Structure 1
Amino acid sequence: MARNPATADDGRLTGTAVDAVVFDVFGTVVDWRTDVAGEFERVGTRVGAQADWMELTTEWRSLYPPTLLRVVSGEIPWQSLDGLHRMMLDELLAKHGLTEFSDTDRAELVQAWHRLRPWPDSPDGLSQLRETHITATLSNGSIGLLIQLARTGGLPFDTILSAELIHSYKPDPKVYLMAAEQLGVSPQRLLMTACHVEDLRAAADAGLRTAYIPRPLEWGPDRPAPAAPDWVDLTATDISDLARQLAR
């Protein structure tokens, strides 16, 4: 029987089946936890507040999925991710009675999401991947935020795509299909790459291919990454590993 050129002998997806690769950014390409917690501690110390800053950062991030779903469902109107981060931060600080933070302090903390450092493999891995495939972000972050992360982190994406372009958020299937349309490829030849299984599930349901990178620190130092689901097309240890697999 002739071999399918889209799969290796072991059935895994090969690079010939993919025209472009899009990436979740927060957690998959950049480390949000370390840098946001560091900014929380810096600003909190300055204003005289006391808290477990790492835990507070984790809780801030935990508000992210349900808040985005409220936008996708139409419960609340669309606004930029900065606006949603500020809304979530206000809710978080009120819950913990942290009244020391002024409007200026809170705006500074929201901007921390614009200054996240990449994982060590991200710049070189993206450079390797660009030799064979189109690369782009596909993030809920705003275009301006993503450009800042790419420029300061040396992240050589071919282009920046954001859910902002259609005033929605992942996991809305329209976001994934928008990426395929913008890149001029069919959904079946577009590979969504993320460390979040729920992002990949939504992408797969929209007809995209999927690659899982289980970043060990995404869920905190004491929690392992979820196991790779059996329905994902590829699993890679990092972006460099993904580039090597897709170069086959």
Structure 2
Amino acid sequence: MKPLPQVLAFDVFGTVVDWHTSLVREIDAMDLGVSGDEFALAWRAQYGPAMQRVMSGELGWTLLDDLHRMVLDELLVRFRIRNLNEVQKRQLNRVWHRLDPWPDSVAGLTRLKSRFTICTLSNGNIGLLTNMAKRAGLPWDCILSAEVFRAYKPDPATYLGVARVFDLEPAQVMLVAAHHEDLAGARACGLQTAYIERPLEFGALRPKDVSPRSENDWHAANILALAEQLSYQ
């Protein structure tokens, strides 16, 4: 068994907060004449490609808020939504600041915080993550983001950046995430990894396979369950 890490760094979208349910609720409430589910999934589907434009050098460094807005403008055309003014578009784009936590997140993070330093390691920008934490009551010790490192995950600068911020060896940091590709990037940099099951991340109609993978150091049904597991070590 490896020594326990000193810092737990959390992916946020999907791992700590339920982006799908949150987006669907707000989109449906706006009565745009489209399926909130379809619109939310289409928006999320462009998350990776938008960041890839930055990572490839096609775009200079761009905050996630601005990437979300670029994608939103394209989706409004695709879904033929023409009745939103600029104030409404800006408000809709900031839905990503208002995502609800999964039911276990606040309690789980609070318990982990009593023993570990807990921080974000998200592609979200600092303002977005701060607003989200304030609204949802997420008790971070520190907010770290792609914005700090001017690189998006899975760039090694992000994972190694957490260790550097806290003056630790990579193995003293653990990434906690609901996405295997994120965890693989962290492991390649020497971090420990914990997988959190979020089978309904993309909605009840599209359950994810959350089977354990041996390459991860820890596997838990949710954040509170991870806190319980770590409490015995």
Range class of TM-score, shorter chain:
over 0.9
One-letter amino acid matched to 1:58: L
**1:77-88 correspondence runs (5 A):** 77-88=60-71
C-alpha distance in 1, partners of 2:58/2:155?
A: 14
- Which residue number corresponds to residue 17 of structure 1? 4
CA contact (8 A) 2:21 2:203 kept: no
C-alpha RMSD of matched pairs (Å): 1.3
C-alpha distance in 2, partners of 1:142/1:177?
A: 18
1:58 to 33, 36, 41: 41
1:77-126 deviations in whole A, cap 9, x for unaligned?
Answer: 11111100000111112122222222222111111111111111111111
1:138 to 121, 128, 134: 121
C-alpha distance in 2, partners of 1:38/1:140?
A: 23
**1:178-197 correspondence runs (5 A):** 178-197=161-180
C-alpha distance in 2, partners of 1:181/1:149?
A: 25
One-letter amino acid matched to 2:203: G
Secondary structure at the aligned position of 2:151 is classed as coil
- Which residue number corresponds to residue 113 of structure 1? 96
- Which residue number corresponds to residue 42 of structure 1? 29
- Structure 1 residue 243, shift from structure 2 partner: 1.0
CA contact (8 A) 2:176 2:195 kept: yes
Secondary structure at the aligned position of 1:161 is classed as strand
Task: Name stretches of at least 5 consecutive residues in structure 1 with no aligned partner.
Answer: 1-6, 8-12
- Which residue number corresponds to residue 221 of structure 1? 204
One-letter amino acid matched to 2:223: I
Task: Name stretches of at least 5 consecutive residues in structure 2 with no aligned partner.
Answer: none
- Which residue number corresponds to residue 28 of structure 1? 15
- Structure 1 residue 225, shift from structure 2 partner: 2.0
Distance 1:219 1:230, change over 3 A: farther
- Structure 1 residue 139, shift from structure 2 partner: 0.6
One-letter amino acid matched to 1:85: H
- 1:123 corresponds to 2:110: no
One-letter amino acid matched to 1:240: L
- Structure 1 residue 72, shift from structure 2 partner: 1.4
Q: Please tell me whether Structure 1 or Structure 2 has the larger radius of gyration of its CA atoms.
A: 1
Secondary structure at the aligned position of 2:9 is classed as strand
C-alpha distance in 1, partners of 2:98/2:123?
A: 16
- Structure 1 residue 75, shift from structure 2 partner: 1.8
- Which residue number corresponds to residue 4 of structure 1? none
- Which residue number corresponds to residue 10 of structure 1? none
2:192 to 200, 209, 222: 209
C-alpha distance in 2, partners of 1:55/1:197?
A: 24
Give me the identity figure in percent.
Answer: 44
C-alpha distance in 2, partners of 1:138/1:71?
A: 18
